Chain A
């Protein structure tokens, strides 16, 4: 597609529920990133996919967080047993291989009540 598409744009859930956030990267972009941005704060790296290589999961804050990506297509970030501190905007970005210029999606705003 023309840009990075994320869904849902807004998600309100109750504490303890599981949520799935979806990212559809730019076609042909081999690298895909997930970041978290809490209100008024910077971007916190979560996970990075590059082609068929093993993902860099070093930023995932707990084992309640996981992400998958099939090939060079859609990625899903899953948060299990959500907590109020998970409330944030989750940003997805993609980039062409070996160039590091990220194009960001509009984000998915998660609110955990």
Chain B
């Protein structure tokens, strides 16, 4: 069964600084990988996804993520964070065949210092 680990429970960065949120997955075959964001009082929103092809994927709000099979990682990055990026970020892994269940990590809470 697939599993996801987000090693950082809470990260604080200054506005304008770069950001990297870590995600490691465990899955025996080619996974589908996702990052979702949950802003305070808001629902979950898809940031980006990886199904196949180019291992560097671009998402909304200036986020990108890189799939590294050798490291079983799918880290989320942003060159310069904005105060509005403060939120909870969830990495998820799904099976690459059909619409199977998604397994989510425990989330990383991002705080932005002014």
Which A residues lie at the B interface, using CB under 8 A? 30-31, 33, 35, 41-43, 45, 48, 50, 56, 59, 91, 93, 95-107
Please pick, from B44, B90, B99, the residue contacting A100 in the complex, using a CB distance under 8 A.
B99
Segment touching A, from B19-27, B66-74, B103-111: B103-111
Q: Are B49 and A91 in contact (CB under 8 A)?
A: no
A59 to chain B, nearest CB (A): 8
A42, A45, A56, A106 — which one has the most chain B CB atoms within 10 A of its CB?
A42
A35 to chain B, nearest CB (A): 7
Closest 9 CB pairs of A and B: A42-B106, A31-B99, A43-B104, A104-B44, A48-B101, A100-B94, A42-B107, A98-B98, A100-B32
Q: Is B56 in the interface zone, CB < 8 Å from A?
A: no
Q: Is B43 in the interface zone, CB < 8 Å from A?
A: yes
User: What residues on B are CB-neighbors of A95 within 8 Å?
Assistant: 99
12 CB < 8 A contacts A-B = A31-B99, A35-B104, A41-B106, A43-B44, A43-B90, A45-B103, A50-B99, A97-B99, A100-B32, A101-B49, A104-B45, A105-B43
